[in-house]
A and B are shown apart, each in its own frame.
Chain A
Amino acid sequence: MTAFATAVTSAHDIPDLPDRARMYRESGARLRSAMADNGIDALILLGNGNVVYATGASWPLLDAGLSHVERPVAIVLADDEHPHLFMPFREGAPWESQIPADHLHPPLFLEFDEGVDHFARVLGDLVPASATIAVDELTGAMRRAGDRLFPGGPPSDAAPVVGTAKLVKTVDQISCIRRACRITDEAAVDVQKALAPGVRQIDLSAQFVRRAFELGATASMLEPIWQVMPATKAEGTWTTHGDLALPLLTTERELAKGDVLWTDVSITYTGFCSDFGRTWLVGETPSARQQDQFRQWRHILDAVLKVTKAGATSGDLARAAIAANGGQKPWLPHFYLGHGIGTNAAEMPMIGTDLGEEFDDNFVFPAGMVLVLEPVVWEDGTGGYRSEEIVVITDDGHVSLTNYPYAPYGD
């Protein structure tokens, strides 16, 4: 049994910088423990976020259209403390690794039959034919070679296994998330200063990515969003549910005095994501009605945070939010009240989705889970209010990782 570093009970318990060797050890132990719980002997991981988690590798992620060909692959064995990593080399991509040399391998090309022929030999050498295997994605070439790759029968889905491991963050993973958030917050300060009528949405993105990289970001994870909110729901973009659209894409549109922006950006630091969202107002101070929107949002957030602690369920938070919002759900129908965060910008749990109330009531928060809360408040004629707050769940409550003012709506 691996002893984990001290649990987080206050902000002081989070190391300023992650201990990457310890993070690697503890992530691996968590993953193998989840494998044991699920009766899995070998995990084959193709998804970028899963490989980051399993191996500690961190690299500037590629666009989705490139990343499925040139992607790292991990094989994790239940009885081996080190994962095998098959790492494509991108010229110039830096990364440090705790993985011993005999576990580092040349890349696999699982989109192609020739690449999968090679993979079948690799797998045959590493994984016994009788092993129970879970995999997070099957390429077409892997499906064609299914009998050779998985002689013991079709593999199960690795997503729930990795999901179990990822749910509770180690102190070093929390340190990575907090550092990613600090980089994002600091970059956002300069962007918000530049906010003025005549500035294009795209200029905000340009300034944000530059500052974020200067401050140490590994990658931008999301096309930066600076959505100008409509005056009324009816005037907004058509949606399948009749509620607000979000997120709408950034363009060269020039911002105008009085525009209300809902912002959303995310970067990674050593493979872990930040999530930032605030409501900004261009060239004006908020009206009394707009201040009321913020106060209502703050009221909902406070009500949710009041019940946020280890042992609470997603259902508890959803109910607290609805009660504080006069019986209406304070989130958009296609999204959630909140979501987890880690090596993916949105991880389980998702609170208040079409997974249903029973799912939410059965999802019990463990200490060490990291949650992004993003309630939404809307009244026609105000532009509404939306912000995101990241908290670590503790036995007594929560520790905040977001440190960004609510200007111009509040402190």
Chain B
Amino acid sequence: MATEVLPDDRALRIGRRERALAQMEAHDLDVLVLGRQANVRYVTGAPQLWVAGTRPFGPICMVVRSTGEIHLNSTWDEGMPDDIPHDRLYGLAWNPMTLIEVLKSIDGASTARRVGTDALTPTFAKLLPMAFPNAELVDAEPAMRAARRIKTPDEVAALRGALRVAEKSLATAVAELRVGVTAQELTGILLEAEAAGGVSTPATQDGAWVTSREHPWRRARSDGRIENGDLVAFSAGVLADGYVGEVGRTWPVGDVDASALYDRWNTLWDRLAAACQPGRPAGDLLAAYEAANEPLPPTPVAHGLGLGFDPPVVTPDLRITAAEEILEPGMVLSVTGYVWQEGVGAVFGREAVLVTSDRPEVLTSSPSWSIRAGVGIG
């Protein structure tokens, strides 16, 4: 992070925009109307204010394929790339008709035949045809997903930067782990370290929790106070320069013999990592759990990393989708290993993996507890 708000580097920006324009052509889209923050960042390269959670669809950005022009809903030009000049910025508005009038006046709106939106509300489904009177409104997410699933080298570099902040923050929180501290305090320490590391925009805010000895997925106790014998999970997720960096680790506290559980995690991880090969279906990551004889967790086992979620999303709820999704070099996956033992707790670990034409490259390198390292913290 710098001392001023800057647009994404030109090479990063242009590389992404070319991929998006190519997919507009492949999906026969004349115009894109984007509302999702990650899609908007992808095509514009302009940082935006971070707000947690979903937001209702609105026409935040419009891309015209024939001219390559990008129009953006921004009241100011701070952090704006020079290829989005002032006359293509339109200010914040609360009346949807104000926005429709803006879109309507943009060159290419009246002649567009196919307009893709990345989401829609019933209200904008009614209003957008006023701006695009000759167009069919279609789903733009397949085009955006196709563009985003493979990372350019500049994107991988940005992801490495995000992961560095996440890993450093996780280490800061792990260093404060001891009996008596609460999970909430550890989460505060983790988020503080993320912000001090230049990232006040968390991707996740779960932070730290005590894994349960009685239930495979729940937290151990409501007050979250760390006790001797706990297995404490840490999850750091940041959004740095627009890119999500996620890492997870579990550390034992005091007297707990969890070596057999860590061994199980390591065995599972070897299978998960081996599944991150080009040409193989993403569903192999589900099969890795089954092959290791570990029950599948209720969370997605993996998802693409980029400007938020990218394809694939690998969960037993989407088995057909995962089976059809073939891994390719340039995809970056956030892969989760999770094992649990009654009476002991859970070991959770999350790594970022770059699929290459050769062997998968694990981009995360946070230390893990190991038998060689001896006893746990505390």
Contacts and interface: CB of A to CB of B under 8 A. Distances in A.
Interface of A: 46-49, 60-71, 88-94, 106-107, 109, 111-115, 118, 134-141, 143-144, 154-159, 202-203, 205-207, 209-214, 216, 218-224, 237-241, 245, 247-254, 333-336, 345, 350, 353-356
B332 to A, nearest CB: 14
B262 to A, nearest CB: 17
B4 A253 contact: yes
A61 B53 contact: yes
Contact of B204 (A62, A112, A254, A345): A62
Interface stretch (B7-15, B194-202, B265-273): B194-202
A91 B313 contact: no
Contacts of B320: 114
Nearest to A48: B53
A109 B315 contact: yes
A350 B95 CA distance: 10
Contacts of A136: 56, 121
B28 to A, nearest CB: 15
Given A159-B121, A335-B92, A220 B198 contact: no
Contacts of A254: 3
Nearest to B315: A109
Interface string B299-314: 1100100011100010
Interface residues of B, number: 95
Contacts of A333: 91
A240 B75 contact: yes
A240 B123 contact: no
Contact of B196 (A89, A202, A220): A202
B34 interface: no
A115 B322 CA distance: 12
A354 B338 CA distance: 50
B76 A138 contact: no
Contacts of A213: 184-185, 187-188, 191, 207
Contacts of A141: 139, 141
B193 interface: yes
A222 B52 contact: yes
Contact of A62 (B142, B203, B348): B203
Nearest to A49: B53
Q: Give the one of A91, A213, A253, A335 with max B CB within 10 A.
A: A91
Contact of B195 (A69, A205, A253, A335): A205
B47 A249 contact: yes
B120 A138 contact: yes
B294 interface: no
Nearest to B39: A65
Contacts of A68: 36, 54, 119, 308-309
A91 B120 contact: no
Which 4 pairs, one residue from A and one from B, show the smallest C-beta to C-beta distance?
Answer: A65-B308, A140-B139, A213-B188, A60-B205
B86 interface: yes
Contact of B122 (A92, A138, A214): A138
Interface string B54-85: 11110000000000000000111111000000
B5 A251 contact: yes
Contacts of B203: 62-63, 65-66
21 contacts: A61-B205, A63-B244, A65-B38, A65-B307, A66-B244, A66-B309, A91-B346, A94-B219, A106-B298, A138-B120, A138-B125, A202-B1, A206-B192, A211-B188, A216-B184, A220-B52, A222-B49, A222-B50, A224-B195, A240-B90, A251-B3
A223 B36 contact: no
A224 B52 CA distance: 12
Nearest to B185: A214
